[in-house]
Structure 1
């Protein structure tokens, strides 16, 4: 399906009736149909991005995209990293998220709405919804890798747990620093802003993902009965990685949006 990208045009000269269906939906111009005549909701995960863009624009906020990689193995790794940040990040690490709309999406879907999002699969993309053309900034950093994600390694159980916790702290710290760099540190009302993030993104998942629990011998998706999903090759799961963002569809059980 071919769509025209009109975000680069001057806002004043842009006629809403000429926008593609997903942009009419994103900017709140009523239910729209795509070029095939089907409702815009049939566009799949793109609707998640456009809906989040609309919420961000209406609230005069930036949109922060947690990028879902195409590779399935990378999905697991990145979902665990984001889970560590949201569940165990200190106030200063997660407080920057209080001022943005958050969505999980693939770069392929994001670039249909924001062509300027760039290439590759960075960890995060910040989209400034108040600018025309829309401005996008990639945020990326190399995260430390667990020694024991696919094998326990040497040492006693206590030593392995300490090693896992030390790596988790480095991963969370790197992501927190990345958010402060891209969104601003802002020391005011730190505790209150962090509490609002936990209420919004920890109790319930960001749009485009589900929370799940990995035990090392299986995965349970929160809110989905009897998933019993096997996490092949996961083995040992570090304690701070066990609750993670799940980026996969749950077949036949009300698949979560990606």
Structure 2
């Protein structure tokens, strides 16, 4: 081995020993230990982010975080927007996800692992796992919202048309955001999009569950007798009905573990 390579490897190793225990574990350097020599376990949903980071690093790909807001109402809104993208996005909208590891997490948990993730609650954060220190980029855009007041003034046909138009704008905005942050390569779009649907639509991304909102309640997929009221929403736009559920089924008010 050349001397400069040896020095570089040694410096990297010394730097790694200075990382927090959960970060050393996320980088796959064996089980992290605390000052007593016992394995140090990550707390709460940080486990999900650490595991996803490790998978991304081992696969030599970036980590994409779907950010879970702290506010419960915002959780519903964002979960529906992500559901629209994954279930109804065109190939070009979702194909960029083929090259990244995806996880759903709060900014509070992400910043424990990646302090450079920044402030606020952007829609997405891209974490480049091949950088030391880890590099993070926020991706955000203002999404159109559904005007629920029109439920009282529009007939059903007009309402459905308006819903579909708003959903198309939301999906388009998220797709453009992904292409901007992850790349807009046009090669093998159909195959890449198919791989995303197989990985993230049939089963949910880590840190979330798929659920169905009927307007009368919410059914979490794979969970018996959930039947939770959907925050009083009597009408759910058709493309929003299957959405990412960011609550613990048991506690209903906490992020998924």
> Normalized against structure 2, the TM-score is what?
0.87
Structure 1 pair 85–185 and aligned structure 2 pair: CA distance change class (3 A): same
- Alpha carbons 2:45, 2:109 under 8 Å: kept: yes
Which structure shows the higher helix fraction? 2
Structure 1 pair 116–239 and aligned structure 2 pair: CA distance change class (3 A): same
Larger Rg: 2
Aligned to 1:41: 41
Range moving further from structure 2, 41-50 or 213-222: 41-50
After superposition, the C-alpha distances for 1:127-158 in whole angstroms (9 at most, x for unaligned) are: 11111111111000000001138xxxxxxxx1
- Alpha carbons 2:207, 2:246 under 8 Å: kept: yes
After superposition, the C-alpha distances for 1:104-136 in whole angstroms (9 at most, x for unaligned) are: 000001111111111000000001111111111
Aligned length: 250
Structure 1 pair 81–17 and aligned structure 2 pair: CA distance change class (3 A): same
> Normalized against structure 1, the TM-score is what?
0.87
After superposition, the C-alpha distances for 1:43-68 in whole angstroms (9 at most, x for unaligned) are: 11001101111111111101000000
Structure 1 pair 60–236 and aligned structure 2 pair: CA distance change class (3 A): same
Deviation of 1:11 (Å)? 6.0
Deviation of 1:33 (Å)? 4.9
Distance of 2:86 and 2:238 partners within structure 1: 14
Aligned to 1:155: none
Structure 1 counterpart SS, 2:6: coil
Deviation of 1:229 (Å)? 1.1
Unaligned runs of 5+ in 1: 150-157
After superposition, the C-alpha distances for 1:63-95 in whole angstroms (9 at most, x for unaligned) are: 000000000000000000000000000000000
- Alpha carbons 1:20, 1:34 under 8 Å: kept: no
CA RMSD of aligned residues (A): 5.5
Deviation of 1:204 (Å)? 0.3
